Chain A
Amino acid sequence: NAGVTQTPKFRVLKTGQSMTLLCAQDMNHEYMYWYRQDPGMGLRLIHYSVGEGTTAKGEVPDGYNVSRLKKQNFLLGLESAAPSQTSVYFCASSQTGGGVGVLTFGAGSRLTVL
Protein backbone atom coordinates (compact mmCIF):
# COMPACT_ATOMS: atom_id res chain seq x y z
CA ASN A 1 0.00 0.00 0.00
CA ALA A 2 1.85 3.08 -1.27
CA GLY A 3 -0.38 5.71 0.42
CA VAL A 4 0.33 9.16 -1.07
CA THR A 5 2.98 9.44 -3.76
CA GLN A 6 4.37 12.75 -5.02
CA THR A 7 6.40 13.31 -8.15
CA PRO A 8 8.90 14.75 -8.71
CA LYS A 9 10.78 14.77 -5.39
CA PHE A 10 13.11 17.56 -6.45
CA ARG A 11 12.96 20.20 -9.16
CA VAL A 12 14.87 23.35 -10.05
CA LEU A 13 13.14 25.94 -12.20
CA LYS A 14 14.08 29.28 -13.65
CA THR A 15 11.84 32.27 -13.03
CA GLY A 16 8.95 32.25 -15.47
CA GLN A 17 9.03 28.54 -16.22
CA SER A 18 6.01 26.35 -15.63
CA MET A 19 5.68 22.95 -14.06
CA THR A 20 3.20 20.50 -12.58
CA LEU A 21 3.48 18.51 -9.38
CA LEU A 22 1.60 15.22 -9.35
CA CYS A 23 0.01 13.64 -6.31
CA ALA A 24 -1.48 10.15 -6.40
CA GLN A 25 -3.24 8.28 -3.59
CA ASP A 26 -4.37 4.68 -3.54
CA MET A 27 -6.60 4.80 -0.44
CA ASN A 28 -9.80 5.86 -2.23
CA HIS A 29 -9.85 9.09 -0.20
CA GLU A 30 -12.36 11.76 -1.15
CA TYR A 31 -10.40 14.79 0.06
CA MET A 32 -7.01 15.90 -1.20
CA TYR A 33 -4.86 18.91 -0.30
CA TRP A 34 -1.75 20.76 -1.33
CA TYR A 35 0.34 22.47 1.37
CA ARG A 36 3.59 24.38 1.21
CA GLN A 37 6.11 24.28 4.04
CA ASP A 38 8.44 27.21 4.66
CA PRO A 39 10.85 27.71 7.58
CA GLY A 40 9.14 29.32 10.54
CA MET A 41 5.73 29.28 8.85
CA GLY A 42 4.55 25.73 9.24
CA LEU A 43 2.25 24.18 6.68
CA ARG A 44 -0.01 26.49 4.71
CA LEU A 45 -2.90 25.26 2.62
CA ILE A 46 -2.69 26.20 -1.06
CA HIS A 47 -5.70 24.45 -2.61
CA TYR A 48 -7.86 21.50 -1.76
CA SER A 49 -10.46 19.22 -3.30
CA VAL A 50 -13.48 17.57 -1.73
CA GLY A 51 -14.00 15.12 -4.55
CA GLU A 52 -13.34 14.30 -8.18
CA GLY A 53 -13.87 17.33 -10.39
CA THR A 54 -13.87 19.84 -7.50
CA THR A 55 -11.24 22.31 -6.30
CA ALA A 56 -11.21 25.18 -3.82
CA LYS A 57 -8.78 27.86 -2.67
CA GLY A 58 -6.93 27.62 0.59
CA GLU A 59 -4.89 30.13 2.53
CA VAL A 60 -2.22 30.92 -0.12
CA PRO A 61 -3.63 30.11 -3.59
CA ASP A 62 -2.10 32.92 -5.68
CA GLY A 63 0.24 31.74 -8.43
CA TYR A 64 -1.01 28.14 -8.34
CA ASN A 65 -3.67 26.16 -10.14
CA VAL A 66 -4.97 22.68 -9.43
CA SER A 67 -7.01 19.98 -11.10
CA ARG A 68 -8.71 16.82 -9.85
CA LEU A 69 -9.79 15.01 -13.01
CA LYS A 70 -9.52 11.60 -11.37
CA LYS A 71 -10.32 10.76 -7.77
CA GLN A 72 -6.86 9.36 -7.11
CA ASN A 73 -4.87 12.25 -8.59
CA PHE A 74 -4.46 15.90 -7.58
CA LEU A 75 -2.21 18.10 -9.72
CA LEU A 76 -0.61 21.37 -8.63
CA GLY A 77 0.51 23.69 -11.41
CA LEU A 78 2.76 26.73 -11.45
CA GLU A 79 2.17 28.70 -14.65
CA SER A 80 4.99 31.22 -14.21
CA ALA A 81 7.31 30.27 -11.35
CA ALA A 82 8.67 32.98 -9.04
CA PRO A 83 11.49 32.78 -6.46
CA SER A 84 8.84 33.24 -3.72
CA GLN A 85 7.50 29.82 -4.69
CA THR A 86 10.71 28.12 -3.60
CA SER A 87 9.41 25.74 -0.96
CA VAL A 88 8.70 22.16 -0.02
CA TYR A 89 5.28 21.08 -1.23
CA PHE A 90 3.25 18.40 0.48
CA CYS A 91 0.20 16.64 -0.81
CA ALA A 92 -2.21 15.01 1.62
CA SER A 93 -5.44 13.10 1.49
CA SER A 94 -8.17 12.20 3.95
CA GLN A 95 -11.23 10.01 3.98
CA THR A 96 -13.41 12.80 5.34
CA GLY A 97 -12.91 16.52 5.41
CA GLY A 98 -11.33 19.10 7.62
CA GLY A 99 -9.79 18.17 10.90
CA VAL A 100 -12.08 15.22 11.48
CA GLY A 101 -10.37 13.11 8.87
CA VAL A 102 -6.79 12.10 9.53
CA LEU A 103 -4.45 13.53 6.91
CA THR A 104 -2.05 11.16 5.18
CA PHE A 105 0.88 13.09 3.73
CA GLY A 106 3.23 12.35 0.90
CA ALA A 107 7.01 12.61 1.31
CA GLY A 108 7.17 16.08 -0.20
CA SER A 109 8.49 17.77 -3.34
CA ARG A 110 11.30 20.28 -2.97
CA LEU A 111 11.07 23.07 -5.53
CA THR A 112 13.74 25.70 -6.09
CA VAL A 113 13.04 28.68 -8.34
CA LEU A 114 16.12 30.59 -9.43
Chain B
Amino acid sequence: GENVEQHPSTLSVQEGDSAVIKCTYSDSASNYFPWYKQELGKGPQLIIDIRSNVGEKKDQRIAVTLNKTAKHFSLHITETQPEDSAVYFCAARGMEYGNKLVFGAGTILRVKS
Protein backbone atom coordinates (compact mmCIF):
# COMPACT_ATOMS: atom_id res chain seq x y z
CA GLY B 1 0.00 0.00 0.00
CA GLU B 2 0.88 3.65 -0.11
CA ASN B 3 3.53 4.91 2.30
CA VAL B 4 4.34 8.60 2.75
CA GLU B 5 7.53 9.78 4.43
CA GLN B 6 7.90 13.40 5.51
CA HIS B 7 11.03 15.36 6.45
CA PRO B 8 12.07 17.11 8.54
CA SER B 9 10.03 16.34 11.64
CA THR B 10 10.80 19.78 13.07
CA LEU B 11 11.96 22.95 11.35
CA SER B 12 12.91 26.29 12.87
CA VAL B 13 13.39 29.35 10.67
CA GLN B 14 13.83 33.04 11.22
CA GLU B 15 10.94 35.28 10.27
CA GLY B 16 11.30 36.27 6.62
CA ASP B 17 13.29 33.19 5.65
CA SER B 18 11.98 30.37 3.47
CA ALA B 19 10.90 26.94 4.68
CA VAL B 20 10.87 23.72 2.69
CA ILE B 21 9.20 20.46 3.71
CA LYS B 22 9.69 17.33 1.62
CA CYS B 23 7.64 14.17 1.21
CA THR B 24 8.19 10.95 -0.68
CA TYR B 25 5.55 8.42 -1.63
CA SER B 26 5.72 4.80 -2.65
CA ASP B 27 2.74 4.17 -4.93
CA SER B 28 3.49 5.30 -8.47
CA ALA B 29 -0.27 5.25 -9.18
CA SER B 30 -0.95 8.04 -6.65
CA ASN B 31 -2.24 11.12 -8.42
CA TYR B 32 -3.31 13.66 -5.80
CA PHE B 33 -1.10 15.34 -3.18
CA PRO B 34 -2.58 17.81 -0.69
CA TRP B 35 -0.91 19.71 2.14
CA TYR B 36 -2.70 20.41 5.41
CA LYS B 37 -1.84 22.92 8.13
CA GLN B 38 -2.77 22.23 11.74
CA GLU B 39 -2.71 25.07 14.23
CA LEU B 40 -2.58 24.41 17.94
CA GLY B 41 -5.83 22.96 19.25
CA LYS B 42 -7.45 22.80 15.83
CA GLY B 43 -8.06 20.25 13.13
CA PRO B 44 -5.94 20.18 9.95
CA GLN B 45 -6.94 22.54 7.17
CA LEU B 46 -6.09 22.24 3.47
CA ILE B 47 -3.69 24.94 2.31
CA ILE B 48 -2.66 23.76 -1.16
CA ASP B 49 -2.86 20.66 -3.33
CA ILE B 50 -1.43 19.39 -6.59
CA ARG B 51 -2.44 16.72 -9.07
CA SER B 52 -0.05 14.45 -10.91
CA ASN B 53 -0.48 16.18 -14.26
CA VAL B 54 1.01 19.41 -12.85
CA GLY B 55 4.62 20.02 -11.81
CA GLU B 56 4.20 23.11 -9.69
CA LYS B 57 1.44 25.19 -8.14
CA LYS B 58 1.66 28.52 -6.32
CA ASP B 59 -0.69 30.42 -4.05
CA GLN B 60 0.79 33.68 -2.77
CA ARG B 61 3.63 32.74 -0.38
CA ILE B 62 3.18 28.98 -0.63
CA ALA B 63 4.03 26.65 -3.48
CA VAL B 64 4.11 22.91 -4.04
CA THR B 65 6.35 21.06 -6.50
CA LEU B 66 5.93 17.48 -7.68
CA ASN B 67 8.51 15.17 -9.19
CA LYS B 68 6.64 12.07 -10.38
CA THR B 69 9.77 10.29 -11.58
CA ALA B 70 11.42 10.52 -8.18
CA LYS B 71 8.06 10.19 -6.38
CA HIS B 72 8.52 13.19 -4.16
CA PHE B 73 6.77 16.49 -3.60
CA SER B 74 7.66 19.54 -1.54
CA LEU B 75 6.00 22.48 0.18
CA HIS B 76 7.75 25.84 -0.09
CA ILE B 77 6.83 28.77 2.14
CA THR B 78 8.53 32.08 1.36
CA GLU B 79 8.81 35.17 3.57
CA THR B 80 7.73 33.19 6.62
CA GLN B 81 5.68 34.91 9.30
CA PRO B 82 4.98 33.94 12.93
CA GLU B 83 1.46 32.86 11.96
CA ASP B 84 2.99 30.20 9.71
CA SER B 85 4.04 28.34 12.88
CA ALA B 86 2.02 25.12 12.88
CA VAL B 87 2.19 21.41 12.08
CA TYR B 88 2.16 20.66 8.36
CA PHE B 89 1.05 17.32 6.91
CA CYS B 90 1.55 16.06 3.40
CA ALA B 91 -0.67 13.35 1.99
CA ALA B 92 -1.04 11.17 -1.07
CA ARG B 93 -4.07 9.43 -2.43
CA GLY B 94 -3.25 5.73 -2.26
CA MET B 95 -5.03 2.95 -4.06
CA GLU B 96 -6.01 1.13 -0.87
CA TYR B 97 -8.97 1.88 1.39
CA GLY B 98 -11.08 3.15 -1.46
CA ASN B 99 -8.47 5.65 -2.68
CA LYS B 100 -8.35 7.44 0.66
CA LEU B 101 -5.57 9.81 1.71
CA VAL B 102 -2.42 8.49 3.39
CA PHE B 103 -0.72 11.14 5.53
CA GLY B 104 2.90 11.80 6.37
CA ALA B 105 4.01 12.01 10.01
CA GLY B 106 3.94 15.80 10.08
CA THR B 107 6.45 18.66 10.38
CA ILE B 108 6.44 21.13 13.27
CA LEU B 109 7.37 24.51 11.80
CA ARG B 110 8.49 27.25 14.18
CA VAL B 111 8.99 30.75 12.84
CA LYS B 112 11.11 32.84 15.19
CA SER B 113 10.56 36.58 15.25
Question: Which A residues fall within an 8 A CB radius of B?
Answer: 4, 33, 35, 40-45, 48, 50, 56-59, 90, 92, 97-100, 102-103, 105-108
Determine the chain B residues whose CB is within 8 A of the CB of A107 once the complex forms. 41-43
Q: Smallest Cβ distance from A88 to chain B, in angstroms?
A: 10
Q: Is the CB of B93 within 8 A of A105?
A: no
Determine the chain A residues whose CB is within 8 A of the CB of B43 once the complex forms. 4, 90, 92, 105-108
* Residue of A45, A99, A102, A105 with highest tally of chain B CB at under 10 A: A99
User: Whole-angstrom distance between the alpha carbons of A94 and B112 in the complex?
Assistant: 35
Q: Smallest Cβ distance from A55 to chain B, in angstroms?
A: 12
We find that the number of chain B residues with CB closer than 8 angstroms to chain A is 29
Determine the chain A residues whose CB is within 8 A of the CB of B49 once the complex forms. 102
Contacts A99-B91, A99-B93 hold; do A42 and B105 have CB atoms under 8 A apart? yes
Which residue in chain A gives the minimum CB-CB distance to B1? Answer: A59
User: Whole-angstrom distance between the alpha carbons of A43 and B35 in the complex?
Assistant: 13
Determine the chain A residues whose CB is within 8 A of the CB of B89 once the complex forms. 42-43
Q: Is the CB of B44 within 8 A of A33?
A: no
Q: Is the CB of B46 within 8 A of A98?
A: no
CB-CB contacts below 8 Å: B20-44 with A: 31-34, 36, 41-44
Interface of B is mostly: strand
Determine the chain B residues whose CB is within 8 A of the CB of A35 once the complex forms. 103
Q: How many A-B residue pairs have CB under 8 A?
A: 75
CB-CB contacts below 8 Å: B55-109 with A: 89, 91-93, 97-106
Q: Is the CB of A99 within 8 A of B103?
A: no
* Residue of A41, A43, A106 with highest tally of chain B CB at under 10 A: A43
Q: Is the CB of A45 within 8 A of B9?
A: no
The contact of A105 among B6, B32, B44, by CB within 8 Å, is: B44
Determine the chain A residues whose CB is within 8 A of the CB of B33 once the complex forms. 99
Q: Is the CB of A48 within 8 A of B97?
A: yes
Which residue in chain B gives the minimum CB-CB distance to A100? Answer: B32
Determine the chain A residues whose CB is within 8 A of the CB of B104 once the complex forms. 42
Q: Is the CB of B99 within 8 A of A103?
A: no
Determine the chain B residues whose CB is within 8 A of the CB of A98 once the complex forms. 32, 93, 98-101
Q: Is the CB of A99 within 8 A of B42?
A: no
